[in-house]
Amino acid sequence: MHSMSAISHRLKINLKYFHRKVGIFFIKEDKMLISNIDWDVTMDEVLDYFFHFSLERKSEILNIPIEKLKEMDDDLIIDIAEETFRHNPGLIDEIFELPKELEINNMEEDEIAEYLSNEYGFCINSFCIN
């Protein structure tokens, strides 16, 4: 018959082996859904980013043929871009690839905005936790 300490020691070794071999498959992090994310992106940031796009990308975003864009000066293109972004705010999120909804690891409410800001480079105006 084995002593209690020998059984305990053997159990610890077996648990370490089990954890090392298959334990990771049983770890499940709680997730939370963040939705209606309102990113704090200024129009100056948008226009500066837009200005560095290729002519083809500008044409696609503004829905203006490349030939017409080639005839326009930069100030006119920027004015049209600003008007386009003001009337289509979802386009800003699309250009910067900013999600409106995403699943993240469970965290405290006051940590969420900081996490999202660090992850995507922009501050957050508001969001909902589902």
Return mean pLDDT, the chain. Answer: 83
In a domain, 22, yes or no: no
Overall domain count for the chain: 1
In a domain, 39, yes or no: yes
Range of the domain at 61: 27-129
pLDDT at 118: 94
pLDDT at 1: 53
- 9 pLDDT more than 50: no
pLDDT at 110: 85
- Predicted TM-score (pTM) of the model is 0.64
48 — pLDDT class (breaks 50, 70, 90): very high
**Exposure pattern of 18-40 as b/e (b: 16+ CB <10 Å)?**
eeeeeeeeeeeeeeeebeebebe
In a domain, 81, yes or no: yes
In a domain, 51, yes or no: yes
